[in-house]
Amino acid sequence: MHSTLRLAAAISLASLFSLSAQAADSKGSVEVVHWWTSGGEKAAVDVLKAQVEKDGFTWKDGAVAGGGGATAMTVLKSRAVAGNPPGVAQIKGPDIQDWAATGLLDPDVLKDVAKQENWDSLLDKKVADTVKYDGDYVAVPVNIHRINWLWINPEVFKKAGIDKAPTTLDEFYAAADKLKAAGFIPLAHGGQPWQDSTVFESVVLSVMGVDGYKKALVDLDENALTGPEMVKALTELKKVATYMDPDGKGQDWNLEAAKVINGKAGMQIMGDWAKSEWTLAKKTAGKDYQCVAFPGTEKAFLYNIDSLVVFKQKDKGTAAGQQDIARKVLGEDFQKVFSTNKGSIPVRNDMLADMAKHGFDACAQTAAKDFLADAKTGGLQPSMAHNMATTLAVQGAFFDVVTNYINDPKAEPADAAKKLYAAVKAAK
Ligand code: BGC
């Protein structure tokens, strides 16, 4: 069954609007479900909470731990099925359309705010389209993350005798070998499915290029998913995996980031929310750590747009709170402070065009420059691992095959490629 129908069927079993009483206070309260729970992520979301509370609303925090958001999505579905969706929730990419098709999102609550604040001209069309359903905004985009980054501790590199950041896969392996020989963990990595697939998609991009990535992970083309380039990408993935932290099974991404920050590991392949942990540890980009594109992906940008959807609610106070959140989120001040803490870049075009003026660091300036340049060349592609390219059902199929492949010592790349296609086809 198509995932939209699956979601709708589950939800129609329940009464849709058994709305729980909101906390009584003068301006109303709004519950926000999100998965920003690491130290750095929390520092970022606390900025929004403080701004909304300053405006007199009560922020009910619906944080659900679990990087990548799979647990939060499960919680959200059961809340919706129980007829008790929160006022606001972090949902991304094509899933926004699926949720909107169930009728549970509110296409009216953001209308005036979007018009008054000129969202159509503030946002790139690609960004705006992601958060619109039938022409109406059903979500507010918060920030833009890039996935294909490599995070490096330069002091560890120096100790291991490595003089520069790798720019090819071969240089990456050479650096990893030196790190290993010097007694460091070459690649900090938590073996959770979404983290495995974060590495997988960066390797696919490196080996197959932008066109190959798009055909395989966005268009889900059979030839691209099973062909020789995918087999090569899977072969490289297996090699990359040999350098992963042996203690990383099931580890959270931020605990692995801490190993690079504390000088136990040399590198981590992770989206730029990893920077939030470096920022929290008071480290400076370009000095205490390096952010470089994953080798072979300099001319591409796998994007991931965090957004907050609004669910229909009866309580008028909630609508006011939802609107206040939306207005704050796209405000210049929030865009700057949140992304500075979170490691992302703003969604506003005017800010992306002048990052230095807003005091963003070297990593963020590079990200914005690449985002704008890659948007022109086609190098800007949606992340599969972070819900931007496919529905959650298809993403789940990728996650299963990729994680099994990484963990099965006998797995063959050609066989895994066939399994990828079969699993994706069944999930469509
Ligand atoms: C989200 C980020 C979050 C990361 C780790 C990504 O999918 O877009 O906002 O920091 O997961 O949880």
Phi then psi for 311, rounded to 5 degrees?
-90, 145
pLDDT, tens digit, for every residue of 195-239? 999 999 999 999 999 999 999 999 999 999 999 999 999 999 999
d(CA 382, CA 146): 10
Beta bridge partners of 290: 152
pLDDT exceeds cutoff 60 at 9: no
- What integer is the mean pLDDT of 156-170? 98
Q: Give residues with Cβ within 8 angstroms of 134, minimum separation 6.
A: 100, 107
- What integer is the mean pLDDT of 317-343? 96
d(CA 10, CA 13): 6
pLDDT exceeds cutoff 70 at 30: yes
Half-sphere exposure of 362 (CA within 13 A, CB side): 11
- Residue 1 three-state SS: coil
pLDDT, tens digit, for every residue of 87-104? 999 999 999 999 999 999
Look up tokens 């479900």; give the residue: 33
pLDDT exceeds cutoff 70 at 268: yes
Q: Read off the pLDDT band of 10 (50, 70, 90).
A: low
Tell me how far the alpha carbon of residue 298 lies from the centroid of ligand 1, in angstroms.
21
Give the closest residue (by CA) to ligand 1 atom 12.
67
Query: Judging by beta carbons within 10 Å of its beta carbon (0-12, 13-18, 19+), is residue 315 exposed, middle or buried?
Result: middle
Closest CA to 260 of 155, 412, 118: 155
Closest CA to 119 of 136, 106, 98: 136
Residue 86 in tokens: 């929160």
Tell me how far the alpha carbon of residue 70 lies from the centroid of ligand 1, in angstroms.
10
Contact in structure between 14 and 45 (CB atoms under 8 Å): no
Beta bridge partners of 31: 60
Q: Is the Cα dihedral 359, 118, 128, 122 positive or negative? A: negative
Indicate the helix (H) or strand (E) that contains 130. Answer: helix 125-130
pLDDT, tens digit, for every residue of 41-76? 999 999 999 999 999 999 999 999 999 999 999 999
Q: What atom in ligand 1 is closest to the CA of residue 305?
A: 8
Residue 20 in tokens: 């729980």
Predicted TM-score (pTM) of the model is: 0.94
Give the closest residue (by CA) to ligand 1 atom 9.
306
**Ordered structural domains, the chain, with CATH:** 3-144+306-369 (3.40.190.10), 149-302+376-427 (3.40.190.10)
Q: Is 196 in the pocket of ligand 1 (CB under 6 A)?
A: no
Of the chain, the percentage scoring pLDDT greater than 70 comes to 94
Beta bridge partners of 30: 59
Q: What is the dihedral of CA 418, 419, 423, 424, to 10 degrees?
A: -40
Residue 268 in tokens: 């981590």
Quick one: pLDDT at residue 11? 56
pLDDT exceeds cutoff 60 at 19: no
Q: Is 227 in the pocket of ligand 1 (CB under 6 A)?
A: no
Give the closest residue (by CA) to ligand 1 atom 6.
68
Q: Read off the pLDDT band of 23 (50, 70, 90).
A: very low
Give the closest residue (by CA) to ligand 1 atom 10.
273
22-36, 198-212, 375-389: segment of lowest average pLDDT: 22-36
Tell me how far the alpha carbon of residue 30 lies from the centroid of ligand 1, in angstroms.
22
Quick one: pLDDT at residue 414? 98
Residue 98 in tokens: 């699926």
Give the closest residue (by CA) to ligand 1 atom 4.
68
Q: Is 40 in the pocket of ligand 1 (CB under 6 A)?
A: no
Q: Read off the pLDDT band of 328 (50, 70, 90).
A: very high
12-21, 33-42, 167-176, 338-347: segment of lowest average pLDDT: 12-21
Closest CA to 406 of 178, 228, 155, 234: 234
d(CA 14, CA 399): 29
The stretches of 20-81 forming alpha helices (DSSP H) are 39-54, 70-81
Indicate the helix (H) or strand (E) that contains 31. Answer: strand 29-34
Tell me how far the alpha carbon of residue 339 lies from the centroid of ligand 1, in angstroms.
12
Quick one: pLDDT at residue 26? 59
Residue 215 in tokens: 């055909």
pLDDT, tens digit, for every residue of 271-315? 999 999 999 999 999 999 999 999 999 999 999 999 999 999 978
Query: How crowded is residue 84: how many other Cβ atoms within 10 Å of its Cβ?
Result: 17
Quick one: pLDDT at residue 15? 38
